[in-house]
Structure formats: C-alpha cells, structure tokens
C-alpha cells in the first residue's frame, strides 16, 4: 500500500505538526470580514477561527457529505484544534490565501473538524495517515472519496516546496488527479486500506490473566527508555509519560526498589524546573521539543495538567518533599484562574501563539527583567532562572530554574531567605506585567472527558490537602456536568456558548466514571457514586465488543463512520479501555457485581500479549493489573451523623495507597448505593467514627483510634 500511495504522501514530522460557489460571497452583514463560510454558526473556537477563510469550509455533517456524492467530488478533511501552532501556520499560509482557496473549492468539498469535538473522525483518519506515512500529527489533512474512504493524507504542507515537502497546491492537484484519472490504482489502494484497518487490532486472547512476572517484565522494559540525565522516557520531543511514571510508583510501593521512585522524582523535578512548566503563572505546556524540558511547545492543555496533578501528589506522599506539593498548588491555581468557567466547567486549552508568534506571551529579554526588578534584584532573578543577554529561544529567555538558591546567596552576599524573597517578589512583578500583554487564545469549549480528568485532579488534591477551594471546584464541576452534559442517562461530548452537542465517546464515559468515584472518596456524596454506576452501565452496554472483550470508541447509538474503531492504546491521555478496566475493579469492590470483575478479567486476558510487547501504549492497563493482582484494601468508615472524622481522612489519604477503595456509611442510612456484603453489620462503636480495613475477603475488627487504624493500613 505504501508503495502505491507514495506519489502523494510526504514525510510527516512532529516538528511540523502538533479545512456551487468558488469563493464565498462577501458577507454583507459584517463589513469586518470579506468572507464567511459554513462554519460561522459552529460553537468550536477552532472552527470559528476558520469561519472567515476564503475556503468554503463545511463542518462534518450530512450537508457536506451529500454534496460530495452529488457532485462526484473528493472530500478534503482538515483536522486540528485551537491551540495547535502548525494549524495556525497552515491557515495563514494557505487557507487565507485566495488563490489557494479557489483551487480547494474548485476541486474538493472542504470539511473542517475540531479533533477535540470529533475525536472519532480524527481517530479513523489519523490511523490511515500513520499506516501510510509512519507517523502523524496536526494539522491532519486527508483526502477522501465521496464515500468517506481515505486515499491520501499528511500533516502540514507548505505553500511552496520546502522542508522536503511538496507544496500544498501541488498536493491538491495530485490528489484531484489521482481520484479522477487513476481509478484502477485508486480501487487497488482502497482495498489494501480496508484490509489494513481490519488488521489494526493488536491484542491476542490468552487463557490466563497476566501474572506478577508479566507486570514486572513490562516495567523493566519501560525502564529501559528512561533518560538518566534529564528524566522522562525517550528522546525529544519529550512528553510527560504520565501512565508509565505512575506504574513506576506502584512498582516502588510493591517492591521497595528505590530506582523506580528515583526515576519518577528526577523526571518530575526536571520537568517542574524546566521551561515546560510556567515558572511565572503555573501549569504545564504540552511537551518539550528538547531532551532537557527547556523549550516547550507552548500550548497548555487541560488534560496534561489534569493528569500531572495526581502524579505530583503521589510523589509528595512518598517523599514528603514540598517541592512536589507546591507544583500541585501552582498548577491548580492556574486552572482555577485561567481554565475554569463561571458555570463550573473546565476550558480545553490555551494557545501556543499570541500576536501571531509562538511563545511570545511567556518569554523575556534580560533588559526587560532588569527594568522591572532593578539592577541587583534583576541579576539575582536572572541568575536563578537562567536569563542571559543571548537568550535561549529566538533571542529571548524561557524561564527555567537554573541553579539553587543557596548557590546564589554567597555570590550576591545575601541569605538564602533574602534570595528566596527576591525571587518570589520578582515572579509577582513579572506576572503582573505579563497580564498586560496580549494573551494567547483560549479554547473555551468544555469537553466531558477532559473535565473528568481535571475533576479527578481536584478530588485527589482535596483528599490529600483538605483545601476548601478544591472541594468547591468538585461540587461546581459536577453540578455543571449534570446540568449540561448528562441528558436522559447519556453523556454529551462538548459544550460552549450554552449549547451541548455530540454524543459522548468512550473516554468521556470512562474518565467521568473514574472522576465520580474519586469525588465520592473526597466528599462521600452518595449521588456521585450513583451517577458513576449509571454511566458505567451505559458504557458497558453500548461500547463493549463482546466478541473481542475490548471496547469501541463510539457507541452503537452514534452515527457510523467508515470504520468503528477500538479504543486500545494510551496516547496523551489514557486509553478509555484501560480506564474502564480499573473502573470495573473499583466498582466490583463497592457492589460485588460479578459482571464487573468478569469483564475486567476478560479484558486483561484479551490484552495479555500487548502488555509486555507494548508496555508504553498499555501502561493504563498495567496500572489496573497492579490493582487487580495486589487486591485492594477496602476501607469502611462508619460515621455517626455530624461526627468529626477528619483524622481518619488524613490517616487514609496522607499516605500512598494506590490500591484502595474507601466506603462511608452512616448509622441512619436507609438505602445505601453500595451493595458489597462486607458492609453488612458494620456499626459505629460508642457513637464514634469507626473503621474497618478489609483485604482479600477478610475484615479487621473495628477500630476507633487513629494509631490502631494507621497500623491496619500499613
């Protein structure tokens, strides 16, 4: 297949990747824009960015798809997202160019897709590009037959031949010619592509569940990719690798081997000291373009920050090094300040660009810092954050922690406390100055799946810290989701400008179920648990492929694309199937519903080979496998009404216990949501909060004092 399609494909590099009229008529209602296309009424900020291109963009839908059939025109699907730098570059170079737009409109039905709203479309066509070119990214540009079958695709294409890539105009002409004039080759390619889709599923059924030796082998394979100098896994571009690092912490908990903890602490410390972490405003960028975590791809995604919070929390629990806890607080402060809507939803992302330039909002010249802080304080601040005249990014400076406070103190004849105060004051001054700059664009749509990830972050943070504003964020977010994203027992995917749209996908159901379980263990509201069970049952009924014991990404009630894809692999976010697996196990402890346990075991058997062969892409499954093999501690708290049980909360959540399920019952509960038999007969002693710790089908005697309870947990 590759050989036949190579006349059209171009090498896809991550470096360049992160839509009856010819040109639409002038918009007479708005003199500010010469062109307005079919995206004008869309709620996605990404689609709105393209609504005034001279390209006659359509949103994905029946109108555009039928037009292609009626006119026998191939379809150009251009997929991206609002924070994508190279999406902006290609828009400016090609989609805003009138001559290019005329060619696109003449030859194709042009469809723009926000990959975050329609990840199903992105999944299908990204798989094609990866099969035919070996890699992928965004913008994703794919040419389809009117029947929606892909026959050519790539990522970024320049306006003229450069970077070893053909120009976009040349690609357009070649794709058009191939569709209309090379039918025999086209048909042969389409047959091969269909076969390739059919062979994509990587797992192979086993008769037994993976055991401890499989888990250990997978962890050892992952450890081989560890960078001992700068931390993290693999080489540049370097992503946080959250699921594998979580697995290392679990291995350390089980084995006591310090190397696993050291790999995590070094990775997280280097990241938080680097430019990938916003040293002034908090929060992480999507990835680093170098090995050192210095130069980020400046876009800030909700999902990265959401997943990093629990990882930093767990590392603090194991080390008690406040460096890690401070990163948690700074990250959540950033989210509350910049990515939280007044309604309680969490926004999707901040753009990499401002004023048309990547990173401009975040970088500083040395002279600017000296002018703001004064000569001496500016030099101290610059020494700490690695500021130079030359700069480290296009002549300016990305702030990163370059040295230790103690090492500066002698040079400037000040105490460490004085140096620390100068740095904190400097950060506040730069933060205030930066707030007066032109801000990066905000993608203010709310996605259920990503809100689930951030809800977990706030739930875990509240469990550990008891901070009231985190509890407020939990309540507000769940109320928002219930009101806007949960209709007639089903979830919706995306919300913006008062409108929720698109049926939700597997990750929406899986992540929100997990988040509601975490929120229950934070605030012990039975309604959260009931909602988790309801949406989990829906996912089990409508997404599961009973024949393969895996899960489709789309439900059996959603509009069908050319291929109903499985959701198997971890990417920047964990596999929906991997999260469903852990949800099954947690819900089994709460309910003893045998269906959940049997399904979890079937998924583990189905994916047994993949766990060791491709541990990086199946790390979420491995984390669930650890939960299964270790058997969770089932902690039951019986709390008389209005009794203070805060000491018990601290005893549970201020230590690292990754494999636990916490249940609370009150003496006067009449209709408990939980149905596990271990709850039967549990009562408070002497009208005091009373705890039971159960493991492997046996429960401890009741305890009412914290020292005894802590000993049971250990």
Which pLDDT score, from 0 to 100, does residue 548 have?
Answer: 83
Mean pLDDT to the nearest integer, 644-662: 95
Domain 2-198: give its CATH code.
Answer: 3.40.30.10
Which pLDDT score, from 0 to 100, does residue 4 have?
Answer: 39
Under 8 Å between Cβ of 514 and 459? no
- For residue 31, pLDDT beyond 80: no
In this prediction, residue 39 has a pLDDT band, given cuts at 50, 70 and 90, of very high
Mean pLDDT to the nearest integer, 674-685: 91
N-term to C-term CA, the chain? 57
For residues 218 and 122, what is the distance between their CA atoms, to the nearest angstrom?
29
Mean pLDDT to the nearest integer, 291-310: 97
Domain boundaries, the chain: 2-198, 212-355+442-630, 362-434, 633-713
Mean pLDDT to the nearest integer, 654-672: 84
Tell me the per-residue pLDDT of 108-128, one tens digit each, with 9 for 90 and over.
Answer: 999 999 999 999 999 999 999
Under 8 Å between Cβ of 328 and 312? yes
Which H or E run contains 492?
Answer: strand 490-496
Which pLDDT score, from 0 to 100, does residue 204 have?
Answer: 59
- For residue 35, pLDDT beyond 70: yes
More confident residue, 29 or 359: 359
Token pair, residue 549, equals: 């014991």
Tell me the per-residue pLDDT of 581-636, one tens digit each, with 9 for 90 and over.
Answer: 999 999 999 999 999 999 999 999 999 999 989 999 999 999 999 999 999 999 99
Which pLDDT score, from 0 to 100, does residue 29 have?
Answer: 43
Which pLDDT score, from 0 to 100, does residue 164 have?
Answer: 80
Which pLDDT score, from 0 to 100, does residue 9 have?
Answer: 39
Ranking 49-63, 442-456, 654-668 by mean pLDDT, the lowest is 654-668
In this prediction, residue 672 has a pLDDT band, given cuts at 50, 70 and 90, of confident
Q: Output phi, psi for 143, to 5 deg.
A: -100, 130
**Cα distances (Å, whole numbers) of residue 659 to 513, 581, 633:** 17, 14, 6
Local structure of 442: helix, strand or coil: strand
Which pLDDT score, from 0 to 100, does residue 669 have?
Answer: 57
- For residue 453, pLDDT beyond 60: yes
Under 8 Å between Cβ of 531 and 583? no
Q: Is the pTM of this model over 0.75?
A: yes
Under 8 Å between Cβ of 567 and 507? yes
3-class SS string, 311-380:
HHHHHHHHHCCHHHHHHHHHHHHHHHHHCECCCCCEEEEECCEECCEECCCCCECHHHHHHHHCHHHHHH
- For residue 6, pLDDT beyond 70: no
Ranking 49-63, 290-304, 675-689 by mean pLDDT, the lowest is 675-689
Domain 212-355+442-630 has CATH 1.20.1050.10: no
Which pLDDT score, from 0 to 100, does residue 135 have?
Answer: 83
Q: Per-residue b/e over 220-258, b at no fewer than 16 CB within 10 Å?
A: eebbeebbeebbbbeebbbbbbbbbbbbbbbbbbbeeee
Which pLDDT score, from 0 to 100, does residue 194 have?
Answer: 92
The per-residue pLDDT of the chain, averaged, comes to 92
């Amino acid at each position: 297949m590759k050989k036949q399609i190579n006349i059209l494909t171009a090498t896809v590099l991550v470096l360049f990747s992160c839509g009856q009229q010819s040109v639409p008529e002038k918009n007479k209602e708005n003199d500010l824009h010469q062109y307005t296309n079919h995206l004008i009424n869309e709620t996605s900020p990404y689609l709105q960015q393209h609504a005034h291109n001279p390209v006659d963009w359509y949103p994905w839908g029946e109108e555009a798809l039928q037009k292609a059939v009626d006119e026998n025109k191939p379809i150009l699907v251009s997929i991206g997202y609002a924070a994508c730098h190279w999406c902006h570059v290609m828009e400016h170079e090609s989609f805003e160019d009138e001559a290019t737009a005329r060619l696109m409109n003449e030859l194709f039905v042009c469809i723009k897709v926000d990959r975050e709203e329609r990840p199903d479309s992105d999944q299908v066509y990204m798989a094609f590009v990866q099969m035919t070119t070996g890699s992928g990214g965004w913008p994703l540009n794919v040419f389809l037959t009117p029947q929606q079958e892909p026959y050519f695709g790539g990522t970024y294409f320049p306006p003229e031949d450069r970077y070893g890539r053909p120009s976009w105009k040349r690609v357009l002409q070649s794709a058009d010619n191939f569709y209309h004039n090379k039918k025999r080759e086209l048909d042969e390619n389409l047959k091969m592509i269909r076969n390739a889709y059919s062979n994509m599923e990587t797992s192979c059924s086993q008769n037994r569940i993976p055991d401890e030796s499989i888990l250990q082998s997978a962890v050892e394979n992952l450890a081989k990719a560890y960078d001992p100098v700068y931390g993290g896994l693999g080489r540049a571009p370097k992503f946080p690798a959250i699921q594998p690092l979580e697995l290392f912490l679990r291995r350390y908990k089980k084995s006591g081997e310090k190397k696993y903890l050291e790999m995590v602490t070094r990775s997280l410390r280097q990241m938080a000291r680097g430019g990938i972490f916003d040293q002034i405003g908090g929060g992480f960028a999507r990835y680093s373009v170098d090995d050192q975590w210095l130069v980020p791809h400046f876009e800030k995604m909700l999902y990265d920050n959401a997943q990093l919070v629990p990882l930093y929390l767990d590392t603090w629990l194991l080390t008690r090094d406040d460096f890690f806890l401070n990163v948690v607080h700074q990250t959540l402060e950033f989210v509350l300040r910049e990515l939280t809507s007044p309604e309680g939803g969490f926004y999707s992302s901040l753009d990499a660009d401002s004023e048309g330039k990547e990173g401009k909002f975040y970088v500083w010249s040395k002279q600017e810092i000296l002018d703001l802080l004064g000569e001496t304080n500016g030099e101290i601040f610059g020494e700490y954050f690695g500021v130079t005249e030359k700069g480290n990014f296009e002549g300016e400076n990305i702030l990163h922690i370059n040295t230790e406070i103690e090492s500066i103190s002698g040079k400037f004849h000040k105490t460490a406390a004085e140096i620390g105060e100068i740095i904190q004051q400097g950060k506040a001054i730069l933060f205030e100055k930066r707030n007066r700059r032109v801000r990066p664009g905000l993608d203010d749509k709310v996605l259920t799946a990503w809100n689930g990830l951030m809800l977990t972050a706030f739930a875990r943070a509240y469990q550990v810290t008891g901070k009231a504003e985190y509890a407020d964020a939990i309540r507000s977010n769940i109320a928002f989701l219930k009101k806007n994203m949960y209709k007639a027992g089903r979830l919706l995917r995306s919300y913006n400008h008062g409108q929720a749209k698109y049926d939700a996908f597997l990750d929406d159901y899986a992540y929100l179920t997990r988040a509601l379980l975490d929120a229950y263990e934070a605030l012990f509201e039975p309604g959260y648990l009931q909602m988790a069970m309801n949406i989990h049952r829906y996912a089990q009924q409508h997404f599961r492929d009973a024949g393969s014991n895996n899960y489709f990404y789309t439900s059996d009630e959603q509009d069908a694309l050319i291929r109903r894809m499985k959701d198997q692999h971890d990417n920047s976010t964990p596999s929906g199937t991997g999260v469903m697996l852990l949800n099954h196990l947690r819900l089994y402890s709460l309910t003893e519903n045998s269906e959940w346990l049997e399904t979890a075991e079937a998924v583990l058997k189905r994916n047994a080979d993949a766990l060791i062969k491709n541990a990086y892409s199946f790390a979420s499954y491995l984390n669930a496998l650890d939960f299964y093999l270790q058997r969770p501690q089932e902690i039951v708290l019986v709390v008389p009404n209005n009794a203070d049980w805060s000491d018990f909360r601290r005893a549970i959540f201020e230590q690292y216990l990754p494999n636990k399920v916490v249940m609370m019952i009150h003496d006067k509960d009449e209709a408990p949501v939980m149905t596990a038999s271990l709850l039967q007969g549990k009562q408070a002693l002497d009208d005091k909060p009373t705890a039971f710790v159960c493991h492997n089908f046996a429960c401890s005697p009741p305890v009412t004092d914290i020292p005894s309870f802590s000993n049971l947990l250990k």
